[in-house]
Amino acid sequence: MTRILLFLALLVAPLALAAPAMAEPADIDAAARGVVRIVIFEKTVEGGEEELSPLSHGTGFAVSPQRIVTNAHVVREALTGGAFQGDRVIGIVPPDGDAPAFARIVAIDPGTDLALLAIEGNLRLPPLTLAASRPGGSGDTVTSVGYPMNVDRAQGLSINDIVRSQPPVKSRGFISGERPSRQFDTILHTAPIARGNSGGPLLDNCGRVLGVNSFGAESDGTDAEFYFAVSNRELVPFLRANGVTPQLNDMPCRSLAELDEAERQRRAAAAEAARQQMEARSEASSERRARLQLEATLAVQAERENRIALALLLVLAAIGLGVLGYMLAQRREKELAAGETVRDDVAQDDPEWDSDARTALPAWVPYACYGAAAVLAVTAAALYLTRPGLDAIDRRVAAALGEETGSAQVSDDSSLATAGKFICTLEPTRSRVTGDAARSIDLRWSADGCVNERTQYGFASGQWARVFVPKDEDVVSVARYDPQTRTYRADRYLLSRSAITAAREARGSYTAPSCQAPDAAAQLGRQQDAVISALPSQPNERLVYSCQPAN
């Protein structure tokens, strides 16, 4: 049974590894914010009043806040002029509650079926990012976004209903190949499109534009259905030739789950490397300690033995001197008993001194021997008592290792130690880039969380962070900096109109403190929770930068 399960696991594993990455719904939704319905209106005059009647519609998407790309055949019926020039005009219906606007044709290329429109009025849209590299191989997942007429009919929408804001329809399929057709480069795919989808974007899993959906292959209902999109090979030169610099992205499309797993493995590898390095240092330190322990033990034992031996010699010498003093004292007593003259130093100066007379040993000589013996005995005792003990071994080892036992530890302000000016470089392998990201940023970090001497970062849950909610862009960014690892991370959330409105209301409920305000970091850390808690669980874009000292 075990062999059968193992065999099945080996069969399934390659299939699991080969499975294409699925699209991130949040990224497709974010791209859909810039997808619009394009309506061709005809002007009529009834009862002296001008009226607009919808004739046809298609799809387009923003490549700049006020420039829209679509198919040439979508706006063919409006070629008589721009907005309110002639009998037909172009209307733009945004997907997220904004009022419709009018547009004029900036450029049109029937050869590649591309057209560029300019919005007239104050309507501004979030531009989509174009994939700079070729799409992946056959089998990669793609998504078509647009406004198919068959969906409108199925929902019972009339021609007048299409002027109301509605979210576009998303349909998923796979890349089937790339081939030229109608003298321009196209992408063949299976993400369904219908009438009304023309001019909409074909997106990869990160919500980046691969091409402009244009037409489908004819089918009698029994053949497989295929669809064609004008590739970015045609779109990018067309935009640049007409004064539009598109947002391009050539980064690989990675899911956040892949990044999180890679980050987990990176941290695990770093922890394992640190553990091995610590073990190696510990082993080397143990070997050194053992060597120093042996050397100290031999040195201490030698010193102990030398002192004991010297003390013993001094004791023997003291005993010898004591015996000598005793013998000399006995001799003197015998000499005195025999009637010999006592000799001393004073007697030698006496003029009546008889140098030929026999003299007895002076009295001080035995006492001098006794005194010398006492000095030697005391010295021997001192040598013995002051011999190094066994604890001297540990002290010598500690001194050799540079350790200071019992001394106070010097405090280290890690925040202050990590302050300074840094240049942070984007790490593509750790990032999920869906837009046009900066490859490097300058960062001046201070110990209290002040960045570039003007922007206070909040501190909460062990992290330094700052929430940015711009007024002119539907994006919320959460920047985080780890001064210990010198890692700067920016999570970007591409929000719908209702979500960005809620984020702006939450951001407007507090005023960020200045860098010099007391307790600014903790205060801002608490205040920012109102915005962060309202954000989706995952960002659309994650930019990870590695920072190094500027000098």
The DSSP output letter for 72 is G
Of residues 270 and 445, more confidence is placed in 445
pLDDT tier for residue 94 given thresholds of 50, 70 and 90: very high
pLDDT at 350: 53
pLDDT at 261: 86
Give bridge partners of residue 39 from the DSSP assignment: 57, 91
Same domain, 394 and 426: no
Among 400, 429, 451, give the residue marking a domain's end. 400
Within a domain: residue 269? no
Among 253, 271, 304, give the residue marking a domain's end. 253
Alpha helices in 450-519, H assignment, sequence order: 497-507
User: pLDDT digit string (tens) for 127-145?
Assistant: 999 998 776 666 789 999 9
Both tokens of 68, joined, read: 């829209």
Within a domain: residue 1? no
Within a domain: residue 406? no
Among 253, 284, 319, give the residue marking a domain's end. 253
* Residue showing tokens 């004991």: 308
Least confident window among 39-53, 299-313, 338-352, 438-452: 338-352
Give bridge partners of residue 359 from the DSSP assignment: 341
CATH code: domain of residue 93: 2.40.10.120
Same domain, 100 and 125: yes
Within a domain: residue 258? no
* Residue showing tokens 């797993």: 261
pLDDT at 498: 86
d(CA 212, CA 187): 9
pLDDT tier for residue 282 given thresholds of 50, 70 and 90: confident
Burial of 295 (0-12, 13-18, 19+ CB in 10 A): middle
> Over the Cα atoms of the chain, what is R_g?
47
The DSSP output letter for 449 is S
Whether residue 4 is predicted with pLDDT greater than 50 in this model: the reply is: no
Q: Let me know how long the chain is.
A: 551
Within a domain: residue 14? no
Give bridge partners of residue 311 from the DSSP assignment: none
Burial of 267 (0-12, 13-18, 19+ CB in 10 A): exposed
pLDDT at 74: 95
Q: Which domain holds residue 122?
A: 19-253
Within a domain: residue 286? no
Same domain, 497 and 396: no
Within a domain: residue 274? no
Residue 472, SS3?
Answer: coil
Same domain, 319 and 217: no
78-85: average pLDDT: 57
Same domain, 360 and 472: no
Residue 482, SS3?
Answer: strand
Which of 382-388's residues contact partners 24+ apart within 8 Å by CB, and which partners? 383/307, 383/308, 383/310, 383/311, 383/314, 384/307, 384/308, 384/311, 386/307, 387/303, 387/304, 387/307, 387/308, 387/311, 388/300, 388/303, 388/304, 388/307
User: pLDDT digit string (tens) for 469-505?
Assistant: 998 888 999 999 999 999 999 999 998 888 899 999 9
For a pLDDT cut of 70, what percent of the chain falls above it? 84
Of residues 528 and 2, more confidence is placed in 528
Same domain, 361 and 448: no
Domain total for the chain?
Answer: 3
d(CA 73, CA 58): 9
Residue 61, SS3?
Answer: strand
| Non-local CB neighbours of 508 within 8 Å, separated by 6+ positions | none
Same domain, 451 and 538: yes
The DSSP output letter for 100 is P
Closest CA to 65 of 105, 112, 121, 147: 121
Give bridge partners of residue 460 from the DSSP assignment: 463
Tell me the backbone φ, ψ of residue 487, rounded to 5 degrees: -115, 125
User: pLDDT digit string (tens) for 285-315?
Assistant: 778 778 888 888 888 888 888 888 888 888 8
Burial of 346 (0-12, 13-18, 19+ CB in 10 A): exposed
Work out whether the CA dihedral 184, 190, 192, 195 comes out positive or negative. positive
Same domain, 148 and 297: no
The DSSP output letter for 129 is E
Same domain, 396 and 418: no
Same domain, 249 and 299: no
Same domain, 102 and 59: yes
Instruction: Determine the angle formed by the axes of helices 256-337 and 391-400, rounding to 10 degrees.
Output: 130
User: pLDDT digit string (tens) for 201-234?
Assistant: 999 988 999 999 998 876 655 556 889 999 999 9
372-391: average pLDDT: 83
Within a domain: residue 488? yes
Work out whether the CA dihedral 109, 110, 112, 116 comes out positive or negative. positive
User: pLDDT digit string (tens) for 8-24?
Assistant: 343 434 333 334 455 67
Same domain, 81 and 224: yes
